[in-house]
Every structure is written in C-alpha cells, then in structure tokens.
C-alpha cells in the first residue's frame, strides 16, 4: 500500500531526525526511513560513544593523579568491560530519547532501506520511495512531495589496506573492543585519529600515530596543531609525521606490522592492533540516485545553498554532501532544508560561523579563519594570545597547558577567528561562536566581564591582548 507524505527523509541520524522534528513543527506530514537505529553514526558509532570512552579515560587519569590533589586512592585499574557498559547505557538512554521525540512529533518511522524510484505510476517525477523493510515484510511505497537524503557516511580506508575488524580496525570496530590492546598504530592524525590517540594513551595503551601530512589536525590553526603535537608527545604518544603508509607491506598474525615511507626511507612499525582513521565516504550507493538527475562530485551529492539537488524537490544534507562532516552541521543543514521546503525563506548557512571541536586531552576548538587562511585572504592581522597557565581556575584544575588565540582584522577590528587548546575549551567555544554571529570585535569581548575564577577568563584576556591590553601577562 502506498502512503502520501509532505516529506520523506532517508536516514535517521542527527541530520535526518532533527530535520524531521523541524518539519513536524511546521505542520508537514513527515516520515523517516532508517535501516539501522535512529540517531545514526553520531549516536551509535561516533560522537556519543567515543566521548563516553574519552570521559572514562579522563576519570582514570584523574584517579591516577589524585595524590597530586591530596587524595590517596591506592591501586587504580581500568575495568574496560564496565567502561563499555557505561558507554552503552549512555547511548541507549539517548536512543530512547530520540524514539520519544519521533512519537511526540507524530513522525512515522520506517525501519528499512529506502530507495528512490524514477517516474512511475505513483509520480511523474523521481522521488517515490520504496522501503525494503528490515523485518522482511512487503516493501512499503511512500509518495512524498519532497525528499531529504541524509544517509551519512562510513569510515574509509587506504586503497589496498583491508579492514579485518580484528587486528586492523576502523572506528566502528574500535568502539566495540572488549579489552584494551597493549599497543596501537593509528593511521591518520586528523580529528578522529587524535581523539583515539589521546584516549588510548590515557588508558595506558602505547600509541604510534602515522600521519601523511606535514602536521596533525591539519585543518586547525598551525599554532593549535603544534601545541597538540607537543602536549601529546609529552604524555607519551609517538608521532611519525610525513609517513606514507605502504598497504602492501601489511602483515597480520597475532599482531600488526606495516611499513611507511618516511623522509625517503622505509620504516617498519608493529603493534597489537591498528586503527585506520583516514576520513569518511558518503553513503550514496543503493539508494536509487541512478533513477534521478542528481549529480555527484568526488563521491558526494552536489547541492545548492539551500541543499536542493538537481532534482529541486530532492534535498541532501550532512555527511553525504561532504564539507564539514559534523553532527551539528548536519542538524542545521536539515533545519535550513526543511524551512526552505516549507517556504520559510531561511538564510543561507554560513559555515564560517560553525565551531569545530577536538575532544582529546587537551581539547581543541575553533571558529572562523585560521591565521594562514586569513593571510591568504589578504587581511592585515592583529592577534592576541593568552595562556591557561596564567588563569587561576586552570591551575586549580591542574590543567594549565594550552592557550586562547584571537585573530582580528586590523582595519575593521572584526574578529576573524578564535582558536583554543586546553581544558574544557569545547564548552567555551560557543562564546566565540556568538561573537562571530554578532560580528563582534575584541574590544567587545574584552568589555564582557568574565567571572573569576573561571577558565573563560582566558578568552577575555586574549581579546584584550589583541590590542596589547591583557592584564595578567
């Protein structure tokens, strides 16, 4: 039996389910088709479970160092099965919350794989959705006025480097580990690789990171990359920069051995397991794109500023369109797409206003242009930096490494970018994000009275430092 909808969303991840909620708020009859679990990668294989593990690693390190605070705990051990049990409880609680939101919004959820059909008896345009149900029942036919593709992404590997799920892992398999390895090679020093390197190191695992580029987290400001490298090395993480991994040298038995070309010579590396963290590929296969005029570029779906594809009634959001592959980005792309469908005339999403975070220890966070980007765009810059070691709350926490860096336009005084590394900066970056939205100046942030003692004092001092007015430096 066919059913009509105003909107059908393929994918119930963060982008998809948020889009569905906004559509329901606007009175659109909405359905979500999800072949896995509502919440998608972020909730089940990414953001939430990895941060739960990172939190356990942080607590472990706090306990290990507790005598520095005058607290004697005795022998501290990691019970990794309980760590995983806690992670699963957090995920399950949030999963139930998403299910509740779907019921509350009267959003129909189909558990199965949705495929876009071409013109048919149901519609003269492509867009009818055939749902292959997970329970094996007859396919459901959905006839929407509009479609949003929100099918997400999956970890990719290097050509010729096979993932066996036992010794050679992606983040999907790593999240399911039932015990900690003694050692781990991590291929890739981007955000995900660095978070895993930090976490495993904090749990006591010997970690070696092989990064092909000339620095880790290369999308961040150069000063942030350098500080992260310095601080993680200080904690014991080993890094090999400019390492070209050679997949055909992979050997697996009871351990993993692989070679990499480094500065013209070949070096061999061995560990108990290896994590491959080299980016993500869009999930765009098997969903019927061939039945449409939708265009793909480098494996990602092309859209306009309001996320319409070449088929104007079919939109696409999130990881499957490339760009910033972040959960909060997908959510706001979904909201923008839905409001465009509903005739709300939304503003275009300004990606320069979006904060990015690295949840390692130390944390890193940023919004706006890096110093290198700002220089390339021809701005005359003035820059303020302020270290956490001069902030009382950071010393109280015992986490005094890192700094806040603010980049401003010397001509207009506008803030161009804010970059932070140190304690709890992922919770602090939103102040900078709001400053960017309001087109604020360093003077305005400096005039904001930051409470004492607080970590946020570093933001106020960095803003003052832009004009040479920092008090505690």
Active site residues: 452
Kindly report the three-state secondary structure assignment for every residue of the chain.
CEEEEEEEEECCEHHHHHHHHHHHHCCCCEEEEECCCCEHHHHHHCHHHHHHHHHHHHHHHHHHCHHHHCCCCCCCCCCHHHHHHHHHHHHHHHHHHHHHHHHHCCCEEEEEEEEECCCCCCCCCCCCEEEEECCCCCCEEEEEEEEEECCCEEECCCCCCCCCCCCEECHHHHCCCCCCCCEEEEECCCHHHHHHHHHHHHCCCEEEEEECCCCCCCCCCHHHHHHHHHHHHHHCCEEEECEEEEEEEEEECCCEEEEEEECCEEEEEEECEEEECCCEEECCCCCCHHHCCCCEECCEECCCCCCECCCCCEEECHHHHCCCCCHHHHHHHHHHHHHHHCCCCCCCCCHHHCCEEECCCCEEEEEECCHHHHHHCCCCEEEEEEEHHHCHHHHHHCCCCCEEEEEEECCCCCEEEEEEEECCHHHHHHHHHHHHHCCCCHHHHHHCCCCCCCCCHHHHHHHHHCCCCCCCC
């Amino acid at each position: 039996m066919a059913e009509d909808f105003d909107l059908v969303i393929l994918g119930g991840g963060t982008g998809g389910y948020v889009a569905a909620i906004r559509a329901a708020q606007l009175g659109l009859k909405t359905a979500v088709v999800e072949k896995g679990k509502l919440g998608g990668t972020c909730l089940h294989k990414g953001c939430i479970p990895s941060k739960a593990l990172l939190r356990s690693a942080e607590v472990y390190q706090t306990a290990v160092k507790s005598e520095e605070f005058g607290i004697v705990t005795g022998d501290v051990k990691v019970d990794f099965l309980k760590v995983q049990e806690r992670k699963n409880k957090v995920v399950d609680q949030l999963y139930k919350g998403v299910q509740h939101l779907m019921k509350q919004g009267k959003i129909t959820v189909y558990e199965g794989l949705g495929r876009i059909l071409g013109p048919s008896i149901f519609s003269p345009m492509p867009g009818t959705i055939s749902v292959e149900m997970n329970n094996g029942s007859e396919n459901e036919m959905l006839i929407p006025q509009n479609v949003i593709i929100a099918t997400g992404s999956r970890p990719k590997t290097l050509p010729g480097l096979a993932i066996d799920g036992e010794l050679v892992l992606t983040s999907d398999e790593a999240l399911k580990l039932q015990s900690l390895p003694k050692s781990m090679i991590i291929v890739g020093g981007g955000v995900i690789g660095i978070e895993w390197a930090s976490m495993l190191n904090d749990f006591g695992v010997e970690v070696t990171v092989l990064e092909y580029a000339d620095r880790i987290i290369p999308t961040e400001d150069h000063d942030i990359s350098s500080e992260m490298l310095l601080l993680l090395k200080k904690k014991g993480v080993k890094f090999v920069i400019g390492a070209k991994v050679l997949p055909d040298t992979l050997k697996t038995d009871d351990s993993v051995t692989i070679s990499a070309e480094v500065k013209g010579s070949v070096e061999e590396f061995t560990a108990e397991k290896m994590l491959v963290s080299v980016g993500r590929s869009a999930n765009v296969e098997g969903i019927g794109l061939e039945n449409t005029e939708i265009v793909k570029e480098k494996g990602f779906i092309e859209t306009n500023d309001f996320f319409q594809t070449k088929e104007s009634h079919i939109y696409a959001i999130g990881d499957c369109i490339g760009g910033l592959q972040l959960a909060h980005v997908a959510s706001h792309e979904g909201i923008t797409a839905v409001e465009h469908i509903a005739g709300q005339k939304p503003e275009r999403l300004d990606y320069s206003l979006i904060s990015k975070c690295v949840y390692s220890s130390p944390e890193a966070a940023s919004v706006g242009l890096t110093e290198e980007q700002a220089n390339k765009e021809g701005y005359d810059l003035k820059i303020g930096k302020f270290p956490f070691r001069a902030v009382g709350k950071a010393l109280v926490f015992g986490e005094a490494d890192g700094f806040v860096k603010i980049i401003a336009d010397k001509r207009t005084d506008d803030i161009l970018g804010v970059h932070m590394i140190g304690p709890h900066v992922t919770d602090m970056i939103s102040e900078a994000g709001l400053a960017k939205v309001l087109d604020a100046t360093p003077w305005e942030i400096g005039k904001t009275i930051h409470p004492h003692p607080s970590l946020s004092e570093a933001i106020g001092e960095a803003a003052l430092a832009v004009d040479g007015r920092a008090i505690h430096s």
